[in-house]
Structure 1
Amino acid sequence: LTQEEGLRFAKLIEDQVDCFQTSCGVMGEFRLIPYIHPAYFLPQGKNVHFAARLKQVVSKPVTAVGAVVDLELAERIVASGSADMVAMARGLLADPWLVEKSLGGRETEVVPCIRCNECLARVARFIPVRCTTNPRAGLEVETLRSHPVSLHPRRVVVVGGGPAGLQAAITAAERGHQVVLLERSFRLGGNLVAASAPPFKDEMKRFLRFLRDRVEAVGVEVRLGVKADASAVAAERPDLLVIAVGAEPVWPDLPGIGDARVAWAGDVCAGEAETGSRVVVVGGGAIGCETALHLVRQGKEVVIVEQLAEVALDYNFINRSLLLELLSEAGVDVQTSARVVEVRGDGVRAVRGDGEHANLVADSVVIAMGMTPRRREVEELRGAAPQVVSVGDCVTPRFLMDAVREGFHAVAEL
């Protein structure tokens, strides 16, 4: 159906229904799934205008749905007259107590949905639902078995202030333990700082703020600028040490890799490294593709070079299909089955799958070849406490969901 046909159909059945709910298509049309359930690449309230249009032609109540994940936006939609009601699912999976907290003046305690669509992708694969930001989702029965407050408070030291370390510290403190968090840098967030930096990831920024605010609210003692070695940790006399030192970028061993025009994708996204107007992104995974989208939206000419036959293979199918569409529409040149073999003064030299060499002109080269765990630091800290557990990317680099969930479970039964 076109929009006009849909509106005419709504008029035909108006006397047979009590309420209309509007979206932008049906699940059977695969290309529309990322718009029916808008991912973080798309604006909040992406489909509200459909509800507003329908309200102009029917007299029955109209419900808006799609990318409405907080009550502030929901209230604006209703107040503006765009819809009579708002439907919400992902936001309530991230925090089932969203309404109660908001009405009680506890908005800062609301766990935000980041619209990553991992919940939907898991359901589509017939595996239990989970939520990236809510480690209890899908495990409500299991987590309720834990005492909300520990009967035997312990001293917990967390090394690393990324998402895994922050979640571990929050959960331990919420359960009544004494928690000290040691972070080498002078800010909390780890690689989540760079991951949340592009303008299209505002919800992820909200989640980072939530973690930082929550750590303070539950009384975690945070020490920034501390390089924690085994002796420093042992001096704290912890009952449990949570190692969450994260991962660092993989740097290829290429001629010219030390050139000043070469930067890591995370630094580029975080605004800590500048690029020229023509950029080659080396690596077409999640980091490389999001960096490319970030740069092309700044007006840069961007080429992605990826060794595999396809890019963005580490995304769920919902977000991947949308990202590929956005990259194509923006004019990003995606070169697959190719690898960069040299950084040159005027760009890079690449070899394609058929053995053909190509010189790609660029002012800047951005490295996005994945992450490698800080295993040496993990090994150095292993004997620093009676009980030690490693969580997050320092075990092996994965997804934000894994970091949050491991941080939670590391202390949920302590």
Structure 2
Amino acid sequence: MTRDPLLQPYRLKHLTLRNRIMTTSHEPAYPEEGMPKDRYRAYHAERAKAGVALAMTAGSACVSRDSPPAFNNVLAYKDEVVPWIKGMTDELHDHGCAVMIQLTHLGRRTGWSKGNWLPSVAPTHHHEAAHRYNPKLLEDWDIARIIQDYVDAAERMKAGGMDGLEIECYGHLADQFWSPLTNELEGLYGAQTLESRTRFVREVLAGMRAKVGDDFLLGVRFTADEATPGGLTDDEGLQIAQMLKAEGLVDFLNVIRGRIHSDPDLSKVIPLQGSPSAPHLDFAGRIKAEIGLPTFHAARIPDVATARHAVAAGHLDMVGMTRAHMADPHLVQKIIEGREDDIRPCVGATYCLDRIYQGGEALCIHNAATGRELTMPHVIQAAHTPRKVVVVGAGPGGLEAARVAAMRGHDVTVFEAADQPGGQVRLTAQSPRRREMIGIIDWRMAQCAAHDVQFHFNTWAEAADVTALDPDLVIVATGGLPQMRLYEQMTDLPHVISAWDILSGDVTASGDVLVFDESGDHAGLQAAEMAADTAHVEVMTPDRTFAPEVMGLNLVPYVARLQDKDVRMTVAQRLMGVRKDGNRLLADIGSDYSDKRNDKTFDQIVVNYGTLPNADLYFDLKSLSRNLGEVDHDALIDGRAQALSPNPDGSFQLFRIGDAVAARNTHAAIYDALRLIKDL
């Protein structure tokens, strides 16, 4: 028996949950044709078999045809969803995990140009800032139809073996009714009273209860305080909760605070790295104390200590650790086994969510197996034959290669030119707001230490250093160096510095500074953010929008930080050349949109144009290798070991990964390493 608050079972009506940890509703965008098929099932099953008590799937499943999937949502309005739901719930139940689903109608948070090209609908004419689609104002027949759609979807979920469901009531149609900011209706569902604003949700829940019975759990994930002038207040949120309880409509509450209609507001509901942990926990505790219903909550609860406090202090009955489970799906198992130090940390990068909001699939920045459970292992298996492995470079890709190789039982040596590991991640972590990123490196160093990886720091490895170890396998993970040429020009720019010079602190910005951002990624904006503390900054991009690779949520803190600084954003202009002008620099500025050119003077010009591969060592070793550096792409993709040997006289296999191949990102480097080394 354990006294750990997180590992205590919890009785939710008739359902016993084996511990207090859940994954809250989120849409990883893995459905195929709107169905939660094998990839979707495998993702949730990995967490279920490792001990999570409750999987709240979907985020959210759409109940109506005029709620087309903005985020590749599950289509709960289709009858063919039932067997796919059944397959998933059966497997999760076999692992001892309860399963529920979140249902929604997106309302104005989607658009007419998706799905069947039906107009989006809402109780307001106003569009949502994040999606910009003007909705049709709901008519009475729309409301009746959608209520029935909710009820029918609930019946499908029960037929699929679900233990229950929750309705999404933050930012979607349900709470668009009850927010004073988004209800322009009159009459039964109109804006005049709290009772009329909540009628839609109450009728949905009453219809569901009549259809599914008392042995099927119903709840709401709801904003109990929009924290916005003119919006729903905390007192009104409490009144809604009391109303739902008094009418016997819900079995649990899942508490949210804030709005999600814009990226800045969404970043408060789903807090980013650099923000305090669990910012809404006390508020959720207040709801639990005053209402007395079972209470769930999730908002930046990234670590076990915070989750344990949430339950031990009585703030929550079930604590959501969703992003934490994307980083480490075996989190609960490691708590049970006393291996908390082994948990891969969520570093708050929000790469997972930003990819969804850009129309992609959820991926964890430093767990390349998440979402790839059908092809990538979360648990590394030992190799049949131990080999001697040399890794050159201790950035994220190199450390992942060393970690995986060592866990497979290989003898691993790592060379690193710097005095400490990290590569570009260490540059990123120089910014106080992004210092959590170093967790990507610290966790891998701890894993390598536990598996006896040998490190040689302050060592610029040359071919002779590598071959002296008589390796069987060499991984070149030497990263890249700043690209200092302009677009399609073959010579380096004179007189300029790189974004790395600013990020590292080697150069302090002063005077008038141009940050020319050709890559549109974090490095450009982070350099601008740091430079703005000591200089007047202009951020210039040839793109039609600045920092296109810094996705919605992560863009918010940069823009917020720059608001009160002397910073100018210039789009659709290109740096064509630089020359000296006394002790200043004259920038030749043009555009891809016209032939017009003009000059402008600056004290410093900072260029962010990605990296060039630092691959000299790879090419020095290439002729000595059995595979001549060649990668069998079919084997790599199919999960088979690399076996090419065009040079049988070679003494080792040679591969390069990450930015040593081409400028990409942290996730790409880690994925390169995992899918290559797991089969070697």
Common fold by TM > 0.5: yes
Q: Please show how residues 261-300 of structure 1 align to structure 2 within 5 Å.
A: 263-276=497-510, 279-283=513-517, 285-286=520-521, 287-296=523-532, 298=533, 300=535
Task: Output the amino acid matched with 1:196.
Answer: A
Per-residue displacement from partner, 1:89-146 (whole Å, max 9, x unpaired)? 1111110122332454433321112233333344557765432211221232434599
Shift of 1:402: 0.5
Q: Could you tell me whether the CA contact under 8 Å between 1:269 and 1:291 is conserved in 2?
A: yes
Shift of 1:85: 4.0
Shift of 1:79: 5.1
Per-residue displacement from partner, 1:57-111 (whole Å, max 9, x unpaired)? 4333433312221112223444566545421111111101223324544333211
Q: Distance in 2 between matches of 1:339 and 1:307?
A: 5
3-state SS, counterpart of residue 414 of structure 2? strand
Q: TM-score by structure 1 length?
A: 0.86
Q: Distance in 2 between matches of 1:256 and 1:41?
A: 36
User: Structure 1 residue 357 and structure 2 residue 598: aligned?
Assistant: yes
- Single out whichever of 229-238 and 120-129 deviates more from structure 2: 120-129
Task: Output the amino acid matched with 1:187.
Answer: Q
Q: Distance in 1 between matches of 2:446 and 2:511?
A: 37
Shift of 1:241: 0.9
Percent of aligned pairs with the same amino acid: 26
3-state SS, counterpart of residue 176 of structure 1? coil
User: Structure 1 residue 305 and structure 2 residue 540: aligned?
Assistant: yes
Equivalent residue number for residue 162 of structure 1: 395
Equivalent residue number for residue 184 of structure 1: 417
Shift of 1:407: 1.1
- Single out whichever of 74-83 and 109-118 deviates more from structure 2: 74-83
Q: 1:264 to 1:199 in 2, by over 3 A?
A: same
Q: 1:156 to 1:40 in 2, by over 3 A?
A: same
Q: Could you tell me whether the CA contact under 8 Å between 1:132 and 1:401 is conserved in 2?
A: yes
User: Structure 1 residue 333 and structure 2 residue 568: aligned?
Assistant: yes
User: Structure 1 residue 71 and structure 2 residue 71: aligned?
Assistant: no
- Single out whichever of 220-229 and 368-377 deviates more from structure 2: 368-377
Among residues 391, 407, 428, which one is paired with 1:174 in the alignment? 407
Q: Could you tell me whether the CA contact under 8 Å between 1:304 and 1:333 is conserved in 2?
A: yes
Aligned length: 410
Q: Could you tell me whether the CA contact under 8 Å between 2:347 and 2:440 is conserved in 1?
A: yes
Among residues 314, 338, 344, which one is paired with 2:549 in the alignment? 314
Q: 1:369 to 1:128 in 2, by over 3 A?
A: closer
Shift of 1:181: 0.9
Q: TM-score by structure 2 length?
A: 0.55
Greater Rg over alpha carbons, structure: 2
3-state SS, counterpart of residue 157 of structure 1? strand
Shift of 1:338: 2.2
Equivalent residue number for residue 412 of structure 1: 678
Q: 1:189 to 1:13 in 2, by over 3 A?
A: same
Among residues 653, 663, 669, which one is paired with 1:387 in the alignment? 653
5+ long unaligned stretches in structure 2: 1-178, 180-230, 626-651
Among residues 168, 174, 199, which one is paired with 2:432 in the alignment? 199
5+ long unaligned stretches in structure 1: none
Q: Please show how residues 244-259 of structure 1 align to structure 2 within 5 Å.
A: 244-252=477-485
Among residues 438, 450, 459, which one is paired with 1:226 in the alignment? 459
- What do you get for the CA RMSD once the two structures are aligned? 3.2
Q: Distance in 2 between matches of 1:25 and 1:349?
A: 44
Shift of 1:26: 6.4
Equivalent residue number for residue 667 of structure 2: 401
Equivalent residue number for residue 29 of structure 2: none
Shift of 1:225: 2.1
Q: Distance in 1 between matches of 2:351 and 2:358?
A: 11
Task: Output the amino acid matched with 2:243.
Answer: L
Q: Distance in 2 between matches of 1:124 and 1:339?
A: 28
Task: Output the amino acid matched with 2:589.
Answer: V
Q: 1:383 to 1:68 in 2, by over 3 A?
A: farther
Shift of 1:295: 4.1
Per-residue displacement from partner, 1:25-61 (whole Å, max 9, x unpaired)? 5667666444443333544334435425535643334
Q: 1:122 to 1:305 in 2, by over 3 A?
A: closer
Q: Distance in 2 between matches of 1:313 and 1:331?
A: 22
Among residues 349, 374, 386, which one is paired with 2:614 in the alignment? 374
Per-residue displacement from partner, 1:243-262 (whole Å, max 9, x unpaired)? 11110001247999665xx5
Q: Distance in 2 between matches of 1:227 and 1:304?
A: 35
Shift of 1:271: 2.9
Q: 1:123 to 1:265 in 2, by over 3 A?
A: closer
- Single out whichever of 64-73 and 165-174 deviates more from structure 2: 64-73
Q: Distance in 1 between matches of 2:451 and 2:541?
A: 44
Equivalent residue number for residue 7 of structure 2: none
Q: Distance in 1 between matches of 2:601 and 2:287?
A: 50
Structure with greater proportional helix content: 1
